[in-house]
Amino acid sequence: SQQGEEDPQALSIQEGENATMNCSYKTSINNLQWYRQNSGRGLVHLILIRSNEREKHSGRLRVTLDTSKKSSSLLITASRAADTASYFCATETSGSRLTFGEGTQLTVNP
Amino acid sequence: EAGVVQSPRYKIIEKKQPVAFWCNPISGHNTLYWYLQNLGQGPELLIRYENEEAVDDSQLPKDRFSAERLKGVDSTLKIQPAELGDSAVYLCASSSSRFTGELFFGEGSRLTVL
């Protein structure tokens, strides 16, 4: 069963624009992570935000976490064609289980 | 440093046949995961190992799926017999701590059952 739900399911933007993806979850978490998956490849870890953190940055990535609303967002600024991929949020709950959402398919058009 | 290695990358079999997937995690990573990923969906955990011990296998369909991690290093996931619905990508991942943090994934093994 999936704990997280990403929104939107698909997103298409032009190069240089910002892309925002949202993730909602159901139960209390220890941390929330975002991963990227290029077509036909494995997942690559992007960023981890702990339950006591509200915002985190890594290069062109900005992640926010609102535990009261049980939601997170991933912002990619100044997107590039190479950012085209599926993006998944994953929540770690008690017992150290990491559960992934359904993902957002991002297409960045050159 | 070598990443997580999985084999085979692709496997096509007929239903009712057995199939096995192999995973070699990153050296020194004690925690190993097997995930199943259906097309267009997120990965779903099948089993998690801490060294040789399966600490979370509640989502592994034990009637036909089995896994082992002898000596706490590489791991094998087996399906016997395979069904049409088992067609999916089987992902292996490893991490340095059972308190999670970053998971490192292999490229996956894509199974097609005819």
Tens digit of each residue's pLDDT (9 = 90 or more) over B27-39: 999 999 999 999 9
The total number of residues shown for chain B amounts to 114
CB contact under 8 A, B107 and A41: yes
Residues in B 54-73 with any Cβ partner in A closer than 8 A: 56
- Give the confidence band of B97 by pLDDT, cuts at 50, 70, 90: confident
Q: What is the pLDDT of residues B44-60, one digit of tens each?
A: 999 999 999 999 998 99
The answer to whether A95 contacts chain B (CB < 8 Å) is: yes
Element counts in chain A: helices (H) and strands (E): 0, 11
Q: For position A100, what pLDDT does the model report?
A: 94
Say if residues A46 and A34 touch (Cβ distance below 8 Å).
yes
CB contact under 8 A, A30 and B4: no
CB contact under 8 A, A42 and B42: no
Helix, strand, coil abundance in chain A, percent, nearest 5: 5, 55, 40
Say if residues B86 and B113 touch (Cβ distance below 8 Å).
yes
Which of B33, B100, B107 is closest, CB to CB, to A92?
Answer: B100
| Residue B83 in tokens | 């069904």
- Give the confidence band of B99 by pLDDT, cuts at 50, 70, 90: low
Q: What is the pLDDT of residues A16-69, one digit of tens each?
A: 999 999 999 999 999 999 999 999 999 999 999 999 999 999 999 999 999 999
A6-31 burial code (b ≥16 CB/10 A, e <16)? beeeebebeeeeebbbbbbbeeebbb
**Mean pLDDT, all residues of chain B:** 93
CA B91 – CA B34 distance, rounded (Å): 6
Q: For position B45, what pLDDT does the model report?
A: 94
